[in-house]
Amino acid sequence: MSRVAYFRVSTEAQSIEAQRQALGDGFDREFSDEGVSGATLAADRPGFGKLLDYIREGDTLYVYALDRLGRDALDVQATVRRLLERGVTLDVKGLGPIGRGVGELIVAVLAQMADMERHRIKERCESGRVAARASIAATGLTHRGKASLGRPWAADAKEVADWRKANGATISQTMAHFGISKATVSRYCAA
């Protein structure tokens, strides 16, 4: 009977360390997917696929939250059902061990609520974009006073490219002069 942990974060910029600390130590094996969206079916994720090959009847799988298993309610429910049918206990932080019957019902309700909230977030984001576009068309600024919908520029691209060329500067020197990243210098000076 193994104690198995699974961690997932959606982007490479995120870390699984917060989940690891929240669940604590003492696992026989850990599996993770870093930089893998929860929209990717659980069985299609490399780390979770390895977990499915490893985990056996009598094992307990620990996850920080149900949304670490996925964002799609049907996929989460199917994944939980698959684990339970194999005789694996699923232990979700804050919920505790989930078993057949009532446990599956709780997972179904929580997964559906998470899926519904994900759709509501998308709707709110899109309505914010619509308001921002209308405001830009009318005033030149978004409804929040920004000049564009995207992220603000780290620096003026033309100024960075002109300074680098005029000074014969390296990428590192340009990064230091403007306080911007290597990727930003490369992007601004590519043309």
3's tokens? 């104690």
139's tokens? 């005033």
Show me where the domains of the chain are located: 3-112, 157-188
- The dihedral formed by the CA atoms of 18, 20, 24 and 27, expressed in degrees to the nearest 10: 180
pLDDT tens profile 3-54: 999 999 988 788 899 999 999 999 999 999 999 887 888 989 999 999 999 9
Query: Which pLDDT score is estimated for 78?
Result: 87
Q: What CATH number labels 3-112?
A: 3.40.50.1390
Residues 6+ apart with CB under 8 A from 171: 182, 185, 186, 189
Q: Out of 2, 10, 37, 172, pick the active-site residue.
A: 10
Residues 6+ apart with CB under 8 A from 167: 173
Q: Is 2 a catalytic site residue?
A: no
Helices 171-178, 157-167: axis angle to 10 degrees equals 130
pTM for the complete prediction? 0.62
